């Protein structure tokens, strides 16, 4: 699905990503681990079009997508989740889902004035879709809650839910487990597995919680100092001497 080839990202003279090459197989839940500062988030940002690469290439299903802006990647089904932004906190959980699909009929003034029926119908369809997503994620009871008021873990579920409002092919998840309690983390893990199995999503997941990685991810890729150090099953990577050394060194 994704092939990253000899990618470099420099900030001034400093190489945050320093010649990383990796593959994310279609249908996999690939884990990305590594000590703090390894370049994982920067790599995500370059792949997802948030930062320009200094050099190197990114391919999606064989097509060169290096440097494409996020909205073009979105249309190709490549999504990177983000924390629910501050300005969306005042909207309800359901509204946060409903605003994801683009080109809704109600978005043009013409339609708002002259095609009220069509706008209402489309809004109903999107609302139903949002409610199905909430049901899938077992958070229907939060539909009318302001997003700002839900817990960190529930926000993570909502982020995942936003990817379900469009035709995602590959989703990049950054630190799903940060500050999330164990029960919710299991719910998030279940949702990821179901999206993978039932809807064919490919995932690439940055996570520090090794239990979470072990439960979900195969393969696991370990980065350090901007490079890919090792790749394999969780056990292979955990027992790799270069990986142990990289973690001990921090």
Interaction site with ligand ADP (CB under 6 A): 11, 16, 34, 36-42
Closest approach of ligand ADP to the CB of residue 128, in Å: 37
Instruction: Give whichever of 10 and 169 is closer to ligand ADP, judged by the CB atom.
Output: 10
Instruction: Give whichever of 42 and 154 is closer to ligand ADP, judged by the CB atom.
Output: 42
Closest approach of ligand ADP to the CB of residue 198, in Å: 30
Residues 165 and 217: their CA atoms lie apart, in Å, by 24
Closest approach of ligand ADP to the CB of residue 18, in Å: 10
**Cα-based torsion angle of the residue sequence 223, 33, 64, 99 in order, rounded to the nearest 10 degrees:** -150
The encoded tokens of residue 181 equal 């309690």
**Residue 210: which residues within 8 A CB-CB, separation 6 or more?**
33, 234, 238
Residues 14 and 24: their CA atoms lie apart, in Å, by 26
Closest CA to 16 of 47, 62, 49, 53: 53
Closest approach of ligand ADP to the CB of residue 180, in Å: 18
Instruction: Give whichever of 117 and 249 is closer to ligand ADP, judged by the CB atom.
Output: 249
Write down how long the chain is.
Answer: 250
- Number of C-beta neighbours around residue 195 at 10 A: 21
Residues 186 and 216 sit within 8 Å (Cβ to Cβ): no
Closest approach of ligand ADP to the CB of residue 52, in Å: 12
Which element (helix H / strand E) includes 191? Answer: helix 182-199
Instruction: Give whichever of 16 and 29 is closer to ligand ADP, judged by the CB atom.
Output: 16
Residues 5 and 59 sit within 8 Å (Cβ to Cβ): yes
Q: How many helices (H) and strands (E) does the chain have?
A: 10, 10
Closest approach of ligand ADP to the CB of residue 212, in Å: 16
Closest approach of ligand ADP to the CB of residue 14, in Å: 6
Instruction: Give whichever of 123 and 225 is closer to ligand ADP, judged by the CB atom.
Output: 225
Q: Give the Å distances, CA to CA, from 150 to 42, 89, 181, 184.
A: 28, 9, 13, 12
Strand partners, 60: 2, 63
């Amino acid at each position: 699905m994704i092939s990253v080839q000899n990618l470099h990202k420099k900030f001034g003279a400093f190489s945050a990503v320093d010649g990383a090459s990796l593959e994310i197989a279609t249908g996999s839940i690939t884990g990305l681990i590594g000590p703090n500062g390894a370049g994982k988030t920067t790599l995500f940002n370059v792949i997802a079009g948030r930062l320009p690469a200094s050099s190197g290439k990114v391919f999606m299903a064989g097509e060169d997508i290096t440097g494409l802006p996020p909205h073009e990647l979105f249309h190709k089904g490549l999504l990177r989740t983000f924390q629910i932004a501050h300005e969306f906190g005042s909207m309800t959980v359901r509204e946060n889902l409903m605003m994801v699909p683009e080109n809704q009929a109600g978005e043009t003034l013409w339609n708002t004035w002259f095609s009220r029926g069509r706008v209402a119908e489309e809004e109903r369809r999107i609302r139903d879709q949002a409610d199905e997503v909430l049901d899938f994620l077992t958070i229907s009871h939060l539909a009318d809650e302001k997003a700002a008021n839900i817990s960190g873990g529930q926000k993570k579920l909502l982020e995942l839910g936003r990817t379900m409002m469009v035709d995602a092919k590959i989703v990049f998840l950054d630190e799903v487990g940060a500050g999330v309690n164990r029960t919710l983390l299991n719910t998030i893990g279940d949702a990821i597995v179901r999206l993978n199995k039932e809807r064919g999503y490919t995932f690439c997941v940055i996570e520090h919680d090794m239990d979470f990685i072990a439960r979900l991810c195969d393969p696991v890729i370990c980065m350090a100092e901007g490079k890919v150090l090792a790749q394999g099953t969780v056990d292979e990577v955990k027992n790799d001497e270069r990986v142990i050394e990289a973690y001990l060194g921090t």
